[in-house]
Structure 1
Amino acid sequence: MISREQALQFADEWVAAWNAHDLDAVLTHYTENFEMSSPFILQMGMSPDGRLKGKVNVRNYWEKALAKYHDLHFDLHEVLSCINTVIIYYTSVNGKKAAEFFVFNEDGKVVQAIGHYN
């Protein structure tokens, strides 16, 4: 179960790590075999179905994304939480609005993440 305080702390740490371009800090929040889905994965040709599994594969994708968007900066707007899920609403690259949906395991690590963009 993810408390409201844990959800807010996760969101703050997640955004700060991205804004610092610190992938090691970002990845500390995820399990080794987590799954990531995003239209950006598809657009960048990383996977034909827009999904990647595992820290190694997602790290490779995120490294390419940071190289492409070297001025990447996220602005946090809202954090929504439930029993074992969190949604972070933020401004992403190129001013796109984004909502990232995270599913947590019993150890408080992300097992699935799904990015949504306008």
Structure 2
Amino acid sequence: MQTPPPQAFADAWVEAWNAHDVEAVLAHFHDDVVFSSPVAARVVPGSCGVVRGKAALRDYWTTALAGMPDLHFEVLAVYRGESSLVINYRNHRGGLVNEVLLFDGELVREGHGTYLE
């Protein structure tokens, strides 16, 4: 199964994040998406860092953005695999992050935010 065009996807993804447009980001995800992140472990009590479903992902990202009004991402590189993309970016705090996205068709079925320690 192919991924969407990597650079076009990353451009739309970062534009939505930098606009703080959660709905535009969510448009890239399946309704039954599974997403993991160490940030989710802090923001969503009891989640152990795993968020299941688009509605829960919306709640997580909306809550997280409320606490980060200066959020801004700079894409550094995009890597394409089979049914997967990795977006390497720098966040507003200067941290390096990889967003690992696994696709089912044109939409993300599973995502993982990974951070340089």
**Which stretch shows the higher mean deviation, 81-90 or 42-51?**
42-51
Aligned to 2:113: 115
Mapping for residues 75-90 of structure 1, pairs under 5 Å: 75-90=74-89
State the Cα distance separating 1:94 from its structure 2 match.
1.5
Mapping for residues 1-40 of structure 1, pairs under 5 Å: 1-2=2-3, 6-40=5-39
State the Cα distance separating 1:47 from its structure 2 match.
3.5
Aligned residues between the structures:
115
State the Cα distance separating 1:51 from its structure 2 match.
0.1
Does structure 1 conserve the Cα–Cα contact (< 8 Å) formed by 2:44 and 2:60?
no
**Greater helix content:** 1
| Two-structure CA RMSD over aligned residues (Å) | 1.1
The 2-side partners of 1:60 and 1:50 are apart by 14
Deviations 1:73-93 (A, max 9, x none): 000000000110000000124
The 1-side partners of 2:10 and 2:3 are apart by 12
State the Cα distance separating 1:63 from its structure 2 match.
0.4
The 2-side partners of 1:27 and 1:36 are apart by 12
Q: Quickly say closer, same or farther: Cα 1:76–1:44, change in 2 above 3 A.
A: same
Structure 2 gap ranges (5+): none
State the Cα distance separating 1:46 from its structure 2 match.
3.4
Aligned to 1:58: 57
1:43 is the counterpart of 2:42: yes
State the TM-score, normalizing by the size of structure 1.
Answer: 0.92
Does structure 1 conserve the Cα–Cα contact (< 8 Å) formed by 2:17 and 2:72?
yes
Tell me the amino acid that sits aligned with residue 30 of structure 2: T
The 2-side partners of 1:103 and 1:55 are apart by 15
The 2-side partners of 1:13 and 1:46 are apart by 30
Does structure 1 conserve the Cα–Cα contact (< 8 Å) formed by 2:78 and 2:88?
yes
